[in-house]
Structure 1
Amino acid sequence: MVILEAKGIKKYFGGVVALSNGNLKCRKGRITGLLGANGSGKSTLSKIIAGVYRADAGEIIYEGKAVHYRNPHEARQNGIALVFQNLSLVPDLTVWQNIVLGMEKNRGLFLENEEARALSRAILENLMPDLDIEKKVYQLSPSEMQVVEIAKAISSNPRLLILDEPTAALEQHEVKNLFEYMRKLANEGVAMIFTSHRLWEVMEICDDVTIFRNGEDVATIDFDKEEKDPDKIIGYITGETKKASVKVDHGTLNGQVLLGAKIRPKSKNSVLKDIDLELRKGEILGIGGLAGQGQNELMYALAGSYPFVRCEVRLEGRNFLLNKPGDAIQNGIVLVPGDRQREGLFLEHSVYENTVFPKFGLPDHPLFIPEKEYRTECEQIVDILSIKTPGLDAPVNTLSGGNQQKVVVGKWLSFDIKVLLLADPAKGVDVGAKRDLYEYIVKLAKDKGVGVILYASDNEELVEHCDRVLIMYEGEIVASLAGEEISDDAITAVSMRVKR
């Protein structure tokens, strides 16, 4: 039975067309994958259904009636809940307070706090049973915050649950818990819309998929009637037959050692323990392991941005300490952080301003900005990385996630990069943009001899692109995989080892 149908939805933001002709059907008890490249319109459609935006044309038919919800609260009251990609949590409230926020029950003048706590525990028992509901949200890890966002949506007993990139911050066992709970909800008749850039997740959990490209739906595939063909789906998403992966040739590494690093903790606050690593010229060195084992801290240490360790580096025969980010940047070590919105970009500033900003911190930067030269450089970067933007002066927050990530990479391209640090660079990036990013990264390593250190939460990215993979556990490197040893099974097996 169809519970919701979106017909001919159009949405414009200024002169930008977000949706030109969006159509979607959702059925009770079924999980519908909503797929497409970043900027294809899928998140916009989800937000229109959930009352965040109002459509400029078209109609939403929900439970047999045309609806126009004015805000997400009104949609939740009518049985539609959205798990936001950008979290909607209140940092200073507790876990349980966030879960029931906006849906609290009263007993006279007083809130039913114990009932709310019991509801929160019941939901989290299925998703993350060890999570302390009395913790404030700002004390949580990214994966814990994501689970709270999901629990918040579930707490309203929705009849239609929209999950927009809910797994991006989750570990694999947490994804498994979520999928089990989604199947439980589907068996109870709940309809779901599920968006993910990880195709294996779509294949595993979805009953059917609708694919968007350039603001309109281009295909619907019912997995009860058609086979699950990832290449076919990628073809619809990108409009090309080219595959999304850039498979590395696991050959013998003969390049000279480019970088040697010795990291030693100097504070009890350090997540990292003693770490020694080497990176060869032109090598893509992967950093794997379960989330939260010190991978991000390692990247920050190598970028001169982790104050709890002493990081001594030997780069191209020169020894120096990384005490601050400027030390790393001036020596050709640059970081693409995992959270582009908080750490990589000035969202309300233009593509041009974000691209040239790192130059201003250089000690030899001229007093007057060479505007013409910088704009020419920016145009070249936009062209090299195929950044889709209305122009150099477009605010970066108007770009899709994948194009924002290309700007984060692009701002370093005018530097003499020797070591490129990538902290989960493809997180929340669609398959087409992911392919473009990795094609360029591989080219940078193999053609120009740049050393790349890549942390990815998705093992598939490590398997596809890395010459070696170092596995981290509790702040130290516990294993090294090379060549044909690198596989998803091997990374998972070593990552889940028992500490000696």
Structure 2
Amino acid sequence: MRDVVKVFPGVRALDGVNLKLRPGTVHVICGENGAGKSTLMKVINGTHDADEGEMVFKGELIGKRTIEDTIRMGIAMIYQELNPVLEMTIAENIFLGREPKAGLFVDYKAMYSQTQELLDQLKIPYKAKQKMRELSIAGHQLIEIAKAIARNASVIIMDEPSSAIADTEIDVLFNQIFDLKAKGVGILYITHKMEEIFRIADDITIIRDGQWVDSGPAGNYNPEKLVSLMVGREIKNVFPKDLDVEIGEVVLEVKNLTQEKQHGGRFKDISFQLRRGEILGFSGLVGAGRSEVMRAIFGLDPFTSGEVLLEGKKLDIRDTTDAIKHGIAMISEDRKGYGLVLERNVHENISLVNLKKFIRNGLIDDKAIVEEANQMVEMLQIKVANLNVATSTLSGGNQQKVVLAKWLMGDVKVMILDEPTRGIDVGAKSEIHRLMCKFAKEGMAVIMISSELPEILGMSDRIVVMQEGQITGILDRGEMATQESVMKLATHGTKSK
């Protein structure tokens, strides 16, 4: 890519970006949300046409083309938000749109045979006739890689492929990447996770505000230098945990919470306490049941036995309205699907769960909403031109702050944060962490679910570890809580009685 420019109405999304990818290497693209990383990838794969600059592939200058043209050339892209056809088999997904034919009909025998051969070759432990809905998110990622390989891609673009999978599943993903490198495939990789960058990158390119900043071998960088180049400033502490916050009395207590099979059966005998001013981390592999426990506490899903007590009083939570009424808030891991109405503007989203608060004489007081929304924007330092812009136009970090603002308008005693920094850049992560510490210091009790061990260890006062729907241990901050101790409990720990 040479001096590539891409202009959208009113925005210069790419402004002179350069990039070189070598065969058999992983080239990581770094930058904050909104820096232009995904736009650059979409120029490469034919979704967008560049307005200026040129692209050379295997020594030949290439111009305008469709996504299908790009795939035929040998360039495949795995998108951040996967979209498998869940009711179809693995084979049907891999060959979607290019099914082998026997005369006028699809040759299913050949399709399943070729798919199984591919899965075995890649050491992906699935059967060609399995439905996609049976697979985890990590499994969906591996099938997308298989699809790209089935198309004989010599370049594979991966846009945050590990954002929704746990550490053990990342190992499976990386083993596939190392195998691809050995076969001479060039990989363009986007991630916000520092530990990933220095584990797999051969080369690194940094872009900021749509402009090329720097490129070079991964050995030329360390985390501090990389962050400074990405954000244009030094970030001294990504995990600004305030250790002087006074941990107060028990606010939330969960006793023997169980969900039987007729309601999903995702957890059993869950018991823990949460104190005022505490950040209680929940760790475990994907599928351990962490989110399901929190959904039950918040009234999204039913539980069949056990108790939830707030400030010593047993709660009868039948739905989310009951939870909100008692001062329990939950920010979902899927902020776009469950936390925001993306087409609506910022102040509408901020006031979403507190409209009753603004009713005056039977009418909604828009002026009062705008005034309080402005206060929230200022307090949380949400970067937005004005309150009337669509929430979909904000960066991931600022969207997450809008979700926080929505809940903070009410009287929150317990804040549940499910993967609060997923898919946001290191600068925005630091700001979200700072806000979590601020909430705790002001007396709020905070639960944080995270699949990132550095975040769990860096931000938690105590860590609850789950495996297969049960708590296997609760670790105090400090000597007891290490990456090794957490992973041991998450993978083969002794279940608590």
TM range, normalised to the smaller chain?
Answer: over 0.9
**SS of residue matched to 2:282:** strand
CA deviations 1:189-228 (Å, max 9, x no partner) are 211101111111110111010011111121112135x2x4
Q: 1:422 aligns with which of 417, 421, 424?
A: 417
Contact 2:245 2:277 (C-alpha < 8 Å) held by counterparts: no
Query: For the residues of structure 1 that align with 2:9 and 2:348, how far apart are their CA atoms?
Result: 21
Q: Give the corresponding residue for 1:166.
A: 161
- Quick one: which amino acid aligns to residue 258 of structure 1? V
1:317–1:499 distance in 2 versus 1, CA, 3 Å: closer
1:142–1:366 distance in 2 versus 1, CA, 3 Å: farther
1:334–1:221 distance in 2 versus 1, CA, 3 Å: same
CA deviations 1:285-334 (Å, max 9, x no partner) are 01111211110101111211111335633222433222110111111110
1:96–1:298 distance in 2 versus 1, CA, 3 Å: same
Q: Give the corresponding residue for 1:241.
A: 234
- Quick one: which amino acid aligns to residue 464 of structure 1? G
Query: For the residues of structure 2 that align with 1:100 and 1:245, how far apart are their CA atoms?
Result: 43
Q: Give the corresponding residue for 1:453.
A: 447
Contact 2:472 2:493 (C-alpha < 8 Å) held by counterparts: no
**SS of residue matched to 1:472:** strand
Query: For the residues of structure 2 that align with 1:346 and 1:128, how far apart are their CA atoms?
Result: 41
Task: State which drifts further: 365-374 or 463-472.
Answer: 365-374
Q: Give the corresponding residue for 2:225.
A: 232
Task: State which drifts further: 26-35 or 383-392.
Answer: 383-392
CA deviations 1:215-267 (Å, max 9, x no partner) are 1121112135x2x4111101111111123512435679741111112253363
1:63-462 correspondence to structure 2 within 5 Å = 63-125=58-120, 129-223=124-218, 226=220, 228-248=221-241, 254-265=247-258, 267-268=260-261, 269-310=264-305, 312-360=307-355, 367-446=362-441, 448-462=442-456
Q: Give the corresponding residue for 2:9.
A: 14
1:212–1:140 distance in 2 versus 1, CA, 3 Å: same
* Structure 1, unpaired ranges of 5+: 1-5
1:71–1:90 distance in 2 versus 1, CA, 3 Å: farther
Task: State which drifts further: 256-265 or 109-118.
Answer: 109-118
CA deviations 1:50-77 (Å, max 9, x no partner) are 1122223322222223324543222111
Contact 1:244 1:434 (C-alpha < 8 Å) held by counterparts: no
Query: For the residues of structure 2 that align with 1:174 and 1:128, how far apart are their CA atoms?
Result: 14
* Structure 2, unpaired ranges of 5+: none
**SS of residue matched to 1:24:** coil
Task: State which drifts further: 423-432 or 406-415.
Answer: 406-415
- Structure 2 length normalisation: TM-score? 0.93
Query: For the residues of structure 2 that align with 1:128 and 1:417, how far apart are their CA atoms?
Result: 48
The percent identity for this pair of structures is 36
**SS of residue matched to 1:161:** strand
Query: For the residues of structure 2 that align with 1:44 and 1:138, how far apart are their CA atoms?
Result: 30
Contact 1:103 1:156 (C-alpha < 8 Å) held by counterparts: no
Q: Give the corresponding residue for 1:3.
A: none
Misfit runs of 4+, over 6 Å: 361-366
Query: For the residues of structure 2 that align with 1:471 and 1:122, how far apart are their CA atoms?
Result: 38
Displacement after TM superposition at 1:498 (Å): 5.4
RMSD of equivalent CA atoms: 2.3
**SS of residue matched to 1:496:** helix
1:266–1:301 distance in 2 versus 1, CA, 3 Å: closer
- Quick one: which amino acid aligns to residue 466 of structure 1? S
